[in-house]
Chains A and B, each alone.
Chain A
Amino acid sequence: MSVETVEAGGRANGPANAGSGDGATVLRVSDLSVRFAGQPVDTIDGVSFTLSAGRTLCLVGESGCGKSVTSLATMRLLPEKAARITSGEARFEDRDMLRLSRREIERVRGDRMAMIFQEPMTSLNPVFKVGDQVAEAVARHRKVGRREARERALEMFRRVQIPAPERRLDDYPHQLSGGMRQRVMIAMALANDPKLLIADEPTTALDVTIQAQILRLMRTLQDESGAAMLLITHDLGVVADIADEVAVMYAGRIVESGPVETIFNDPQHPYTIGLMSSMPTLGAPKGRLATIPGSVPSPFEFPPGCRFATRCPFAQTRCFSEVPPFERNDDGHGWACWRTPIETIAEAGGHA
């Protein structure tokens, strides 16, 4: 149903392989589509990307663009009755995550594939000590005794730079600050040396000075472990800080992807450009901010063509009716738009 997947699903062509790409492929998602019960179309439509060892891919987009659903589908955390995977595969260590049994999935999750979510308070059990929760995560996947698991928890607390780690092991989640809770979550996620770390807005709930600490920590730990990281965020500042590759999502499709420098220096898709130019900057203010008019349409309002057409200042008739193919150049930079490069479009107001 979507043209863009033809190319994007191509082997060894994923965004994360584009740049220097020294790392081996860890996760390859191809042509992933998800349909929610009662929805007229696949909300997630033909999403493809590749993650390599030691590299970070940021999935960027605004709320409702499908970035979280994409990651939840990959981890098989979507409720199966309400959200049906209608196509695609997610190859992780030569197995298709989308076709593993429940039991097999549970063996992978929290072990070789680990997750960090936005709000650590809801991911940690409030009635257990944080040290025990990390130890439990180790014991679930490793044949280790109580003491060994606890030692591993302590070691992880040190690695995520929790001060006075011995004492903190016996704290309950509510006794820790938001930043410390997120460190505990990272300790738990990394306790079993995962090959793949999926982090969904891991710093969004944190104060900006604490966010900077956590981002720095995540980068250091990734350098040490060589894990691949899929980081989901709406914050382009965070993207510039931490990504090797970027995939920009809009209304359930990847509209542009490529190496991080390319995305910021040579943005092509009007949505990417609109997103970047509507951000206020720390530089001296220059009058009105550019905006993306309107808001994200519901799946019932998706045009049959490009889903951004309803808000795109450059849209033509064709954009509404035909899905633009996702085309990638030799630098690993790809996008799906009929109108690019936008420099070729004549004067402002030249609305065809």
Chain B
Amino acid sequence: MSDRRRDIVIETQDLVRHFSSGGSGRTVRAVDGVSLSVERGETFAIVRESGCGKSTLARLLLRLIEPTAGTVVYEGRDLSSLSPRQMRAARARLQFVFQDPFSSLNPRMTVGTLVGEPLIVHTGLSRSERRTRVGELLERVGLRAEHAERYPHEFSGGQRQRVAIARALASEPTVLVGDEPVSALDVSVQAQIINLMEELKSDFGLTLVVIAHDLAVIRHMSDRVAVMYLGEIVELAPADALFDAPGHPYTEALIAAIPVPRPGREEHGEALGGDIPSPLAPPSGCRFHPRCPYAVDRCTREKPMLETAGRGRLVACHRQKELSLAGVGAAVAAGANEKALRRFELYRQHAEGNAAGSG
């Protein structure tokens, strides 16, 4: 944060969003004091536990919902200070890809209308120009121009996600926010969409913000990662650093919990005990303390602040300096079997050779 030359596209300051829980008068702290800044051209990932208002943060970033407190600053301007018209213009540049492409695409509209709609709103293109542009966009995301005539239900999950991406691209965004953009997809299709998002990122100079729970997907895609627990950021670090040597016990536990596709691997460490506490009544002190294997008395009373812990890393843990936590190393270093790796490579060559051959 000290480096003033960083080119920040989108930034949040002490962002808070509470919901009142139906009639009980209690408060769900879905997002509770989140400050982060996303640099231009990077892929910034936010990891959080499943459940509990997952997409709240994404919606706040796009001002689809209003924060209880705090601000979202986009290209140097506080989103809440924008007039409705300025907000519309900003929203064109801030686009969203949802988890479930079926519920995010109006089933009564053709794909052409869905992808063309932002062009009406955000560009001055004529009808026929829009038609051409829709065709280009569809082809850009790996569909065909004639798919414009079809309806969302005629497509598979992966194809629908391509449609959603084409629609997002139509308004020429600078930032694409993906809320679990691949988690509803099968592994093989997920890989197609991840590749596509990475291609588009470099072709269009996009900044990606990915909110997800799948650490392997995040590891593959991101430059920097923020780990959230019960509405708060507990660690923020460059992806390599975070995965190689986590700074927060929750990050360590997350990494340890991932089932790694390698049989016979020694169990590393204890499974994280306890349940995720209700966001209605987060624990005192450090919210992670009831589940933390390293918790000491202080953690139960005093809330740790998010503090600098080495290069580009922020950690909210009282014991950060004394702990040496296990990263991915142990789980992955063993390396997959040579024979299997050779076949993976052979498969990749053939799969790409064929894809290139078929255009």
A residues with a Cβ closer than 8 A to B are 62-63, 177-180, 205-213, 215-216, 234-241, 243, 260-261, 264-267, 270, 273-285, 288-293, 295-296, 313-314, 342-343, 345, 348-349, 351
Taking a contact as CB atoms under 8 Å apart, the answer to whether A265 and B339 are in contact is: yes
Q: Known: A291-B192, A351-B353. Is A276-B344 also a contact (CB below 8 A)? A: yes
A290 to B339, CA, bound (A): 17
A325 to B107, CA, bound (A): 42
Binding-face segment, B56-64, B77-85, B268-276? B268-276
Q: Known: A213-B271, A348-B353. Is A282-B328 also a contact (CB below 8 A)? A: yes
The answer, yes or no, to whether B159 is at the interface (CB within 8 Å) is yes
Q: Give the chain B neighbours of A280 by CB distance below 8 A.
A: 191, 194, 216-217, 219-221
Complex A-B: 13 CB contacts under 8 Å: A208-B215, A208-B258, A209-B254, A209-B272, A211-B257, A236-B261, A266-B337, A273-B347, A277-B344, A289-B191, A313-B353, A342-B346, A351-B353
Mask of B341-359 contacts with A, CB within 8 angstroms, 1/0: 0111011111111110100
Mask of B320-353 contacts with A, CB within 8 angstroms, 1/0: 0000000010011000110110111011111111
Beta-carbon nearest neighbor of A215 in chain B = B259
B residues with a Cβ closer than 8 A to A are 49-51, 156-159, 186-192, 194-195, 198, 213, 215-217, 219-221, 240, 243, 253-265, 271-273, 275-276, 291, 328, 331-332, 336-337, 339-340, 342-344, 346-355, 357
Q: Give the chain A neighbours of B355 by CB distance below 8 A.
A: 293
Beta-carbon nearest neighbor of B255 in chain A = A282
Taking a contact as CB atoms under 8 Å apart, the answer to whether A238 and B259 are in contact is: yes
Beta-carbon nearest neighbor of A289 in chain B = B191
A235 to B257, CA, bound (A): 14
Beta-carbon nearest neighbor of A292 in chain B = B188
With A289-B191, A348-B350 already in contact, 9 other A-B pairs whose C-beta atoms are closer than 8 Å? A63-B186, A177-B275, A179-B275, A260-B263, A276-B344, A281-B332, A288-B195, A342-B346, A345-B346
Q: Give the chain B neighbours of A276 by CB distance below 8 A.
A: 261, 340, 344
Taking a contact as CB atoms under 8 Å apart, the answer to whether B51 and A207 are in contact is: yes
Taking a contact as CB atoms under 8 Å apart, the answer to whether A208 and B257 are in contact is: yes
Taking a contact as CB atoms under 8 Å apart, the answer to whether B275 and A237 are in contact is: no
Beta-carbon nearest neighbor of A351 in chain B = B354
Q: Among the listed A179, A240, A313, which residue makes an inter-chain contact with B354, where contact means beta carbons less than 8 Å apart? A: A313
Q: Give the chain B neighbours of A265 by CB distance below 8 A.
A: 336-337, 339-340
Q: Known: A209-B272, A285-B220. Is A240-B259 also a contact (CB below 8 A)? A: yes
Taking a contact as CB atoms under 8 Å apart, the answer to whether B275 and A212 are in contact is: no
Minimal beta-carbon separation of A312 from chain B (angstroms)? 9
Taking a contact as CB atoms under 8 Å apart, the answer to whether A278 and B49 are in contact is: no
Q: Give the chain A neighbours of B348 by CB distance below 8 A.
A: 277, 290
Closest 8 pairs between A and B when the two form their complex, measured CB to CB: A237-B259, A280-B220, A292-B188, A348-B349, A313-B350, A277-B344, A278-B191, A62-B186
The secondary structure that dominates the B interface is helix
A277 to B50, CA, bound (A): 26
Q: Give the chain A neighbours of B273 by CB distance below 8 A.
A: 213
Minimal beta-carbon separation of B185 from chain A (angstroms)? 9
Q: Known: A275-B187, A282-B332. Is A270-B347 also a contact (CB below 8 A)? A: yes
Beta-carbon nearest neighbor of B275 in chain A = A177
Beta-carbon nearest neighbor of B190 in chain A = A278
Beta-carbon nearest neighbor of A263 in chain B = B263
Beta-carbon nearest neighbor of A272 in chain B = B343
Minimal beta-carbon separation of B36 from chain A (angstroms)? 22
Taking a contact as CB atoms under 8 Å apart, the answer to whether B191 and A266 are in contact is: no
A64 to B184, CA, bound (A): 13
Minimal beta-carbon separation of B330 from chain A (angstroms)? 11
Q: Among the listed B188, B213, B216, B343, which residue makes an inter-chain contact with A281, where contact means beta carbons less than 8 Å apart? A: B216
Taking a contact as CB atoms under 8 Å apart, the answer to whether B188 and A275 are in contact is: yes
A241 to B257, CA, bound (A): 11
Taking a contact as CB atoms under 8 Å apart, the answer to whether B351 and A282 are in contact is: no
Minimal beta-carbon separation of A130 from chain B (angstroms)? 15
A348 to B215, CA, bound (A): 32
Taking a contact as CB atoms under 8 Å apart, the answer to whether A284 and B343 are in contact is: no
A289 to B344, CA, bound (A): 11
Instruction: Give the one of B217, B264, B348 with max A CB within 10 A.
Output: B348
A207 to B265, CA, bound (A): 21
Q: Known: A282-B331, A348-B353. Is A343-B217 also a contact (CB below 8 A)? A: no
